[in-house]
Amino acid sequence: MIQPVFITRHILLTSIGVILLTSILLSNIKAIFQRKTLSYLSVIFVLTTLVFSTLYNYFTYKSYTTKATKTYLSENNYLDTLFIATNQISSFNLQYTLQREGFYEPNILSVSYNFDVAYGQIKERIKENHDKACLFNYFTSWGRKEYQLVTKLMERNGRNEFYNLKYPYGVSLVCFKN
Partner 1 sequence: MKPPGKFSLSKHSSKLQKLDEKIVLTLITFFGFLTRAVPSFYQRLWFDESTTWYISKYSSLQDLISGNYFYDPHPPLHYILTKISILLLGESEIALRAPSIILGTLTIIYVYKLAKVICKNSVTALVAAALTAIWPPLVWYSAEARNYSSLIFLNTAAIYYLVVIIKNNYKLTNYIKYTFALSLSWLTNFNALYLTVLLYMIFTNYKINIARYLNSQKTKGIVLSTFVGLAVPALWIFQFFVVSKVGLSSVAYARWIGKPNITEAFRTLSEQIIFGWADSLYPGVFNVLQIVSVLLILLLIYLNIRFVKTRLIVKHKELYSLALLTIVAPPVFARLCLI
d(CA 150, CA 119): 7
Report if residue 100 touches partner 1, rule: CB under 8 A: yes
Cβ proximity of 172 and 3 under 8 Å: no
Report if residue 39 touches partner 1, rule: CB under 8 A: no
* CB nearer partner 1, residue 1 or residue 153: 1
Angle between helices 64-75 and 88-100 (to 10 degrees): 60
Amino acid type, 76: N
Find the binding residues for partner 1 in span 105-124 (CB under 8 A): 112-117
* CB nearer partner 1, residue 81 or residue 87: 87
Q: Identify the burial level of 137 via C-beta atoms within 10 angstroms of its C-beta, where 0-12 means exposed, 13-18 middle and 19 or more buried.
A: buried
Q: Which residues are registered as beta bridge partners of 135?
A: 84, 174
d(CA 139, CA 169): 6
Report if residue 10 touches partner 1, rule: CB under 8 A: yes
How large is the greatest C-alpha to C-alpha distance in the chain, in angstroms? 75
State in angstroms the smallest separation of the CB of 171 from partner 1. 9
d(CA 45, CA 2): 33
With CB under 8 A as the contact rule, the residue among 17, 32, 38, 155 that binds partner 1 is: 17
Report if residue 140 touches partner 1, rule: CB under 8 A: yes
With CB under 8 A as the contact rule, the residue among 41, 44, 50, 79 that binds partner 1 is: 50
d(CA 153, CA 131): 15
With CB under 8 A as the contact rule, the residue among 34, 39, 49, 164 that binds partner 1 is: 49
With CB under 8 A as the contact rule, the residue among 34, 39, 88, 164 that binds partner 1 is: 88
* Interaction site with partner 1 (CB under 8 A): 1-3, 6-7, 9-11, 13-15, 17-18, 21-22, 25-26, 49-54, 56-58, 60-63, 65-66, 87-90, 92-93, 95-97, 99-100, 112-117, 138-141, 169-170
